Structure 1
């Protein structure tokens, strides 16, 4: 056990998860690579949980942070803040939500917490519809709407939560149906459910479930849900903490795969926009955002330094068409991984979109999750110089692949080759 690991265990909570039997200390990074304390170089296919969106040590972001820190680091939202206004203007326009207002937070958890506050205040209801297998954060309210027991340490909640079918296409009671039949069955279930509960405030849903193992419904499911919810006044909150900013390749936001009924009433964002700086937020129609009848501020949300980073990062993302790169390189990587998986009985499915890819592992010849295999592949990939993540609602048996969106074809091939060798080690 390293000295740092021993010190970590002595002062930090037992439930603070660490990857690897011998936990890794990352000391610096550049582009799509990071280095550990021993000087070993790794290709990073997880980006600090989908957060290093463009690249490690991106010069444009580093320069913006340094220059802003040299002027002023902090002021709070009690004062006008030019970088915050500039980033809010850009996000409001990009969101697709009409007459949008933006509130900045310091994390995705806090963003979802704020969206729940707005929805329940606007609708005068504390009942929330959430998806099974979902994850929305670590706060008391966010844990209360998380449909993944591995990440929900208590059933106590200020909200009444009802979980809806549909977030997982290849498991559950509707697996054998066609996509159209799957959507129809989930809509029928939702309509039946609404006949048994008081009118909820909102449905919150990740377009692609992140911690849940990069699972997703067929395109159009949430549009069909919206057709049921809108006449009843029930809001739709799209949790874009992991799917936003072009990561899925096909769309800038995950909700756009379900955009037939228009944009959501609210969307939440975080992670990638800061490229490692602490930025989260909520976008909502003005009438929803302005519904609170009490004062509020944010001490750290919208910090001048984080906003400078966000503006520089967003500019780089758009000017270099990283969404298009995610579509092109991600598509090649998915096909390469599917070709590998076709030869391995322990791989149940390779799924995903753009540079958001999941590899679900099972015990060969069964549908039973194999978390031990996932842990073994994680370790083997690390040994060969590749960092990946894991997740899934079925005992953490899904390998999660989400590199920075500037990933090159050569780097994608390098990572796939390492994963090929690591997966073949599964008994």
Structure 2
């Protein structure tokens, strides 16, 4: 269903500049509707750098299944899930029931007291992580989870040197920004860490793009060895997203991190896998993204967030006991492990496992990506359709040049919303990649509906540019 205004906010899915809402025409004229009035208030009290989708942003008021509605009554098929966070479904009965029942008992206690829902969820996560003798620390976001992982790694290794991937994104805290290899999301060069960036996150661009997968892995390993040769003594850890989320759903060949792990192990360097976007079966083939590289065995540290809470604020770190327990000082978490968020997470995870939503992501995601590849065949504005499971990226380029095309991505985003579909954006600092990540319960019929809307949006914006 089309609507007369533009939709959906997203704080980690787009960069400044052309990807940001321009605000033109959306000002303070309340008689233009509830969206314009609310946006005027938003601009008056919130930071200019808080990214918002669409030229005239809208308010999402409620959702059900794979659909959401805005304040003007328009219905949308949701292919972005609040930035890969609505993992199972909007208003999932099991989750809303768990939240309601826990809220009726107690909302908050802090980690100073025993918390049964936290222990219950930690036991499930520890087992599912694959990490032996695992310990789990809950946070309120992926940013905070990665921050905690960096604290653990640097303390354990007595070093502030971190290896990170080019084009990466790990959050908005001071330390997470310091290891983010995507300049569109790194507003300062100041950092408590010394970050050394290595190749391997983007398969089809850069100096190794023309190599075979085997040669690509060898070249990236050689680059890693060269970077380590320039480090000052110990390096604490390598942190890497198995599939780069904000970077545009890019990924290396399977097995790259296994090859990296051989080098890391020789130097005693820890491996942190950032599963904030790839965890819980979203890739379809695996429960965790690291398992595509499983010759290396489980990581030393795993971070997670987003989908586990299905909208509730949950993040966390899993590490083997030796690493997790290396901190000598006391610590607590006021809001991490909150009884109400833990109850929601446990209900959501139980639903995901019992209904094999990983398998659904593999089956429906496989159909969706092939449908999108067919739709994009012959379009000179589409460089690549890539992804795994229900984590799909469409990279747009300027016709005839191969250069990133952020304006084109913005136009498709707008056209898709007008057609009744919400998607996201990402891809380096220029946001030229359309990001598609629906709830894992997506049906075949909904996948076809969304693909048809997106195909129309891609072709209509291409035609409009051709005419102009």
> TM-score, normalised on structure 1?
1.00
Q: Quote the residue 2:20 is aligned against.
A: none
Distance (whole Å) between structure 1 residues aligned to residue 259 and residue 209 of structure 2? 18
Q: Quote the residue 1:340 is aligned against.
A: 375
Q: Quote the residue 1:138 is aligned against.
A: 172
Q: Are 2:183 and 2:429, in contact at CA under 8 Å, matched by a contact in 1?
A: no
Task: Give yes or no for the alignment of 1:166 onto 2:204.
Answer: no
Q: Are 1:120 and 1:201, in contact at CA under 8 Å, matched by a contact in 2?
A: yes
Distance (whole Å) between structure 2 residues aligned to residue 229 and residue 267 of structure 1? 16
**Superposition CA RMSD, Å:** 0.5
Task: Give yes or no for the alignment of 1:212 onto 2:247.
Answer: yes
Alignment of 1:21-420 (within 5 A): 21-198=55-232, 199-420=234-455
Distance (whole Å) between structure 2 residues aligned to residue 171 and residue 200 of structure 1? 27
Distance (whole Å) between structure 1 residues aligned to residue 110 and residue 268 of structure 2? 34
Q: Are 1:369 and 1:394, in contact at CA under 8 Å, matched by a contact in 2?
A: no
Per-residue deviation at 1:150?
Answer: 0.3
Residues 352-406 of structure 1 deviation map (CA, whole Å, 9 limit, x = unaligned): 0000000000011221000000000000000010000000005100000000000
Distance (whole Å) between structure 1 residues aligned to residue 362 and residue 452 of structure 2? 20
Q: Secondary structure at the match of 1:424?
A: helix
Which ranges of 4 or more aligned residues in structure 1 deviate by more than 2 Å?
none
Distance (whole Å) between structure 1 residues aligned to residue 453 and residue 235 of structure 2? 47
List alignment gaps of at least 5 residues for structure 1.
none
Q: Secondary structure at the match of 1:378?
A: helix
Distance (whole Å) between structure 2 residues aligned to residue 372 and residue 15 of structure 1? 19
Q: Are 2:139 and 2:145, in contact at CA under 8 Å, matched by a contact in 1?
A: yes
Per-residue deviation at 1:341?
Answer: 1.1
Q: Secondary structure at the match of 2:170?
A: coil
Distance (whole Å) between structure 1 residues aligned to residue 306 and residue 298 of structure 2? 21
Per-residue deviation at 1:180?
Answer: 0.3
Q: Secondary structure at the match of 1:85?
A: helix
Residues 69-88 of structure 1 deviation map (CA, whole Å, 9 limit, x = unaligned): 00000000000000000000
Distance (whole Å) between structure 2 residues aligned to residue 116 and residue 96 of structure 1? 20
> TM-score, normalised on structure 2?
0.91
Distance (whole Å) between structure 1 residues aligned to residue 86 and residue 58 of structure 2? 17
Distance (whole Å) between structure 1 residues aligned to residue 189 and residue 341 of structure 2? 34
Q: Are 2:305 and 2:315, in contact at CA under 8 Å, matched by a contact in 1?
A: yes
Residues 90-124 of structure 1 deviation map (CA, whole Å, 9 limit, x = unaligned): 00000000000000000000000000000000000
